[in-house]
Amino acid sequence: MVRGAWCVARGPLLLVLLCAPRDALHAQRDTVNAQQPDTTAFYKALELESAGKYKEAAPLFRMALNTTSAVSALLGLERVYAELGWSDSLLAPLDMLIRRSPRENVYRSVQLRTLQSLGRDDKLHAAIDRWIAEVPGDPTPYREYSRLLLQRGLTASADSVIRQARQRLGSSNDLQLEIAQLRAAMGLWEESAQAWRLALATSPYLEQAAIYALTPTPPATRSAIRQVFLAAPIDVASRRALAGLEVGWGAPSEGWLALKDLPPDSMSAAAWTDFATRAEAEERWPLARDALVAALRWRRTPEATLRAANAALRAADPGTALVLLPPEGPNAPVVTDSARAARTTVPIQARALAMVGRPAAAERLVARYDRFFTPGARTALTRAIALGWVRTGDMARARASLSTTGTEGDSSDAAGWLALYEGNLRTARVLLRTSAETTPELATALAIIARIHADSAPALGRAFLMLARNDSAGAATAFVEAADRQAVGEATSILLATGAQLRAALHDDTQAITLWRRIVEQESTTPEAPSAELEWARALRRHGDAPAAVARLEHLILTYPQSALVPQARRELDLARAGIPGTT
């Protein structure tokens, strides 16, 4: 109101002042029109800028302001002036450009940036006021200004700009992105999440920005963020953002929960596939399987089916792999190219059959496609089938299966595993040592048999056999039984540690602690002792018995001061004593 009165009072004077420049502008525009097709100056300026010749580039960018490349030229001029420390020289051309094209937001944004970088706050406010007055009802000026303030960390000022926008525009719907960023900068995480949700509803491409802004949310506040993004109605972009946040927070399983109940459509399928790709890269096979199977609900392609079956197989879920790729029956995929099938579906099907205890079916399938396999692929499948026979307990068939691959079969690591299952350590030691495998199971087997001097240990073979049959509880017991045999000698502690590890993986901490205690108390000079004591302490802390955990950790640090585990033990000790903040 006051401003309006002032303008009326000064009106005639202003008109007089503006006439001359406007005439000049018309004249300039005529020149511009004549030059418009010529963008040579602009490209020459870019070359000079790339070469670091800012002084030479500046006049050419200025010249290009009068061509069709004016917007790009202005941005170039802004860059080179900033390099030269001449940003104030940008103000005059900006005034001219804004008068010429008042609706061009880039000019306005550059003007605000320049005034802010020069610290000319009064002129900055005046420029904002002019912009707002010239485009009433347009949220852009508020948006640009609040972004500028946020970049400088001026959250309170940004907040007041947004409040002003809400007042003048009657709504802040068009400013949700800025509100979201502002609230995150203020540590108002839940409010930020609410604004992000609204922003994502209209601009799904902001997903990564939302993840970036909300990742620092403290653990105590994360459940509120989850509620915001999980609330009805389901919005795919918000769910994708939540999944990304969960992965960043170290809880990828929670990430899948955010996505699993999306309605099957193209957007959801893209979300599931993207999530699966990340899970595959991180070898989180159960999550990859679930996401890929969900994506098949929308569109079933041979490639997607194969990928899902492979993930299922790697997730130790052969049943699902066989449901997805049935090797026979009415639902079997039509295989028109046998060579291709031998490279893609058949190996998965055969491995899955062997894993579910149907090695005979696997053998038949492999035999059907035998001529299409490379020698390497055939050997690998034969080993898988042999292990299938092992799982069924038929060692003779396993050996027979391996023999089909000739002499190589007898000297392969699969033969080494068979020897180990039979307790023949002498052979196992030789064959497994040369294995190309790098699995944790092989590392454990080699570590154990290296510590046993005897050539035969049937009890140990039984333990590994149970492990191969996925009987973890039985294997844990069998490893302890093997440890009790005289023949294992120096391997007692590692066998007990393996048993404890299996018990812990089965969430049977009571049994695991019994074994760790035995190692610490009876095998205190072995390499497994400090590691067992650390695991024991961790289990105690998990169960809320901090004093007992502290006692164990102190014992570990004082008893094994040279152990590489001491730094970890000290950290655990700090956590148990609440000397440092927890990380969950």
Partner 1 sequence: MSKVSTLRRAVAALLFVLAAAPAAAQRLLVPMDDAQQDHLKAYGIMYNALKDGLSGEWLLNYRGGAFLLPDTPELRKRAALAGVTVEPMDDGQLGSIRAQIANSNMDAVPLEKAPRIAVYSPPEALPWDDAVTLALKYAGIDYTRIYDDEVEHGDLSKYEWLHLHHEDFTGQLNKFYLTYREAPWFIELMQQNLQAAKRLGFANIPALKKDVAEKIRQFVERGGFLFAMCGATETLELAIAGHDVDLAGAYIDGTPMDDDADRKMDWKRSFAFRDAHLEHSPFVNSMSDIDGHQVNVPGRRQPLGTFTLFNFSAKFDPVPSMLVQNHRAVVSDFYGVTTSFTRAVLKPSDVILAEEPGAPWVKYLHGDYGKGTWTYYGGHDPEDPQHAIGNAPTDLSLHKNSPGYRLILNNVLFPAAKKKPLKT
Interface residue list for partner 1 (CB under 8 A): 119, 121, 149, 152-157, 159, 185-189, 191, 216-219, 221, 554, 557-558, 561, 566-567, 570-571, 573-574, 577-581, 583
Which of 508, 529, 391, 528 has the alpha carbon at shortest distance from 448?
A: 528
Q: Closest CB to partner 1 among 66 and 155?
A: 155
Instruction: Write out the two tokens for 457.
Output: 């240990």
Distance CA 274, CA 204 (A): 15
| Residue 282 C-beta: closest distance to partner 1, Å | 24
Shortest distance, CB of residue 221 to partner 1, whole angstroms?
7
Nearer to partner 1, 2 or 156 (CB): 156
Please say which residue, 483 or 557, places its beta carbon nearer to partner 1: 557
Contact between residue 171 and residue 204 where contact means Cβ atoms under 8 Å apart: no
Shortest Å distance, C-beta 581 to partner 1: 4
Give the residue from 267, 268, 261, 258 showing the smallest Cα distance to 226: 258
Nearer to partner 1, 392 or 524 (CB): 524
Residue 217 CB, nearest distance to partner 1 (Å)? Answer: 8
Determine phi and psi for 544, rounding to 5 degrees: 85, 10
Nearer to partner 1, 159 or 235 (CB): 159
Write out the two tokens for 514.
Answer: 């019994």
| Comparison of 433 and 570: residue with beta carbon closer to partner 1 | 570
User: Which residue, 29 or 570, has its beta carbon nearer to partner 1?
Assistant: 570
Contact call for residues 527 and 540 (beta carbons, < 8 A): no
- By beta-carbon proximity to partner 1, the closer residue of 88 and 574 is 574
Nearest residue to 216 via CA among 252, 192, 240 = 192
**Are the CB atoms for 489 and 452 separated by under 8 Å?**
yes
> What is the nearest approach in angstroms of partner 1 to the Cβ of residue 194?
12
Nearest to 439 by CA among 383, 376, 488, 482: 383
Cα–Cα distance, 404 to 414 (Å, whole number): 13
CB of 557 to partner 1, least distance (A): 5
d(CA 132, CA 301): 53
Residue with tokens 């639902």: 331
HSE of 200, CA atoms in CB hemisphere, 13 A: 25
Q: Minimal distance in Å, beta carbon 35 to partner 1?
A: 41
Nearer to partner 1, 271 or 576 (CB): 576
Q: For the CB of residue 574, give the shortest distance to partner 1 in the complex, in Å.
A: 5
Q: Please, are residues 298 and 271 in contact by the beta-carbon 8 Å criterion?
A: no
**Nearer Cβ to partner 1 (17/580):** 580
- Nearer residue to partner 1 within complex by CB, 189 or 421: 189
- Of 267, 255, 180, 200, the closest CA to residue 222 belongs to 255
| Listed residue (53, 78, 73) closest to 63, CA to CA | 73
Minimal distance in Å, beta carbon 159 to partner 1? 6
- The answer to whether 359 and 389 are in contact (CB under 8 A) is yes
3-state helix, strand, coil in the chain (%, to 5): 75, 0, 25
Contact 107, 72 (CB under 8 A): no
Q: Mutual orientation of helices 285-298 and 252-259 as an angle, nearest 10°?
A: 10
Q: How far is the CB of 512 from partner 1 (least distance, A)?
A: 25
Nearest distance in Å: CB 425, partner 1: 34
